[in-house]
Amino acid sequence: MSDPTLWSTTRQSAAIAGRELGARELTQAVIDRIERLDGHVNAVITRDFEAALERATVADEEISAGRRRGPLHGVPITVKDALQTAGLRSTGGAVELRDSVPDVDAPVVQAVREAGANIIGKTNLPRWSGDIQSFNEMFGTTNNPWDLSRVPGGSSGGAAAAVAMGFTSFEIGTDIGGSIRFPASFNGIWGHKPSFGVVPSTGYLDHALGGTTEADVNVIGPLARSRDDLELLLGLLARARPPWIAQLPPAPLDLSDLRVAAWLDDDFCRVDSEVLQVTERVVDALEASGVAVDRTSRPDVDFAEAFELGLWLVGCAISQAGEDEGPGHRVWLDRHRRREEIRAAWAAWFEGVDAVIMPVGFVPPFPHSQEGNFYTRTLEANGEQRGYHEIVRWTILTGMAYLPATVPPLGTTDSGLPIGCQIVGPYGSDLTTIALAGHVGDLMGGYSPPPLALE
């Protein structure tokens, strides 16, 4: 791809550092792209273009003087509107924060800013990040750039659509029930949900007084256009909470030595045939590349119980956005104890398995569905109507256990819709899941821009 707005973050950064590409030149190109194409997608909902161009000019002057602030020096980016961004409207998609302009950055935003990134705008999301699609009453609906009649996923849907379209080379997503994983899968890009606790999650706006505490299950992680970007960005985001990154074990040098399992379907959450066909092709390609895959091994975890418990825990974690007080702390502690038993079962299984390939959701990107709510809507899979809330079964299964999960782009379904899988590993194995996802992405073709992005 010769258009630098569609390059990976690492390539953009290297081009700026080597004076192959000016920071202002790239920033102007990104702004032009947003102004030309975002009317179709509606991803970038708050814009700071004039000031961004001024900052880009300074970044070029610094490069000319031999000063580079960090590995993101001069790279123009957008930030999900759920993250506090100093001096820029940050709403969480909720009218209660319509005019909120924070004085300070969320730690993760501060981390990328200190690494040299130039924040040019904020991206759309559902109210309080609470859906698998991205719409709210202030900023309207974000469309999937591969098919404007379909959702880009949520809650980081505007973020992922912006990455896919070349409006930013990376984004910072949040994920409590799949909010990094669905948008990555639905937009044909890369995403990483870190192990819980590795990246700080303060500065996250999930209720009117949010930002000062960290919610259970929720994590913050990168959305990008390459495996190398994920690894770079995870290091930067985790650095905001030292010394975690030093404790993450490195990826194995020889991926063929990995013990990989495949859990592609389950009676508790049957997967649509279009999704299943793509993930089966992944397993076939892995095996052909020399990586052995066990298609039958499973952890000693009851899928239905883990999901119901995980959904309850997520409900507690987001309860401050609602009107109910939620359960007493003793009740939460009892449920948390059972969660720890489930985590121990995962850990025991992972003693013989390094990673497992799983679906993100049971359907590909679905048509916009804004009537009703999370529990009354339906989705169609294999010709049958299923409960909308079932979409998060596969993501909550792993999220409630605090496990890392990396989503590589796998190409498209037979109907031309992008799809990904989640590659899940034991707690703390983030760099291994990213490395294996990188191999899978290479086998399946990696990031390709949606046709709309090439117009």
Structure tokens at 416: 């031309």
Q: Which of 8, 90, 179, 226 is catalytic?
A: 179
d(CA 371, CA 9): 37
Let me know if 122 is a catalytic residue.
Answer: no
For the chain, how far is it from start to end, CA to CA, in angstroms?
13
Structure tokens at 304: 């239905």
Torsion-angle region of residue 406: left (phi > 0), alpha (psi -120 to 50) or beta?
beta
Q: Which of 80, 169, 429, 448 is catalytic?
A: 80
Q: Which residues pair with 140 in a beta bridge?
A: 136
CB of 446 within 8 A of CB of 409? yes
d(CA 398, CA 358): 10
d(CA 392, CA 400): 11
3-state SS string for 207-269: CCCCCCCCCCCCEEEEEECCHHHHHHHHHHHHCCCCCHHHHCCCCCCCHHHCCEEECCCCCCC
Residue 413 one-letter amino acid: T
* 329-349 and 303-317 helices, crossing angle to 10°: 140
Q: Which residues pair with 219 in a beta bridge?
A: 175
For the beta carbon of residue 241, count every other beta carbon within 10 angstroms. 17
Question: Shortest CA distance to 278 belongs to which of 265, 291, 292, 259?
Answer: 265
**Helix, strand, coil tally for the chain in percent (to 5):** 40, 15, 45
Let me know if 155 is a catalytic residue.
Answer: yes
Q: Which of 8, 129, 134, 155 is catalytic?
A: 155
Let me know if 193 is a catalytic residue.
Answer: no
Q: Which residues pair with 174 in a beta bridge?
A: 220
Task: Fill in the DSSP letter of residue 74.
Answer: T
Q: What positions carry a catalytic annotation?
A: 80, 155, 179
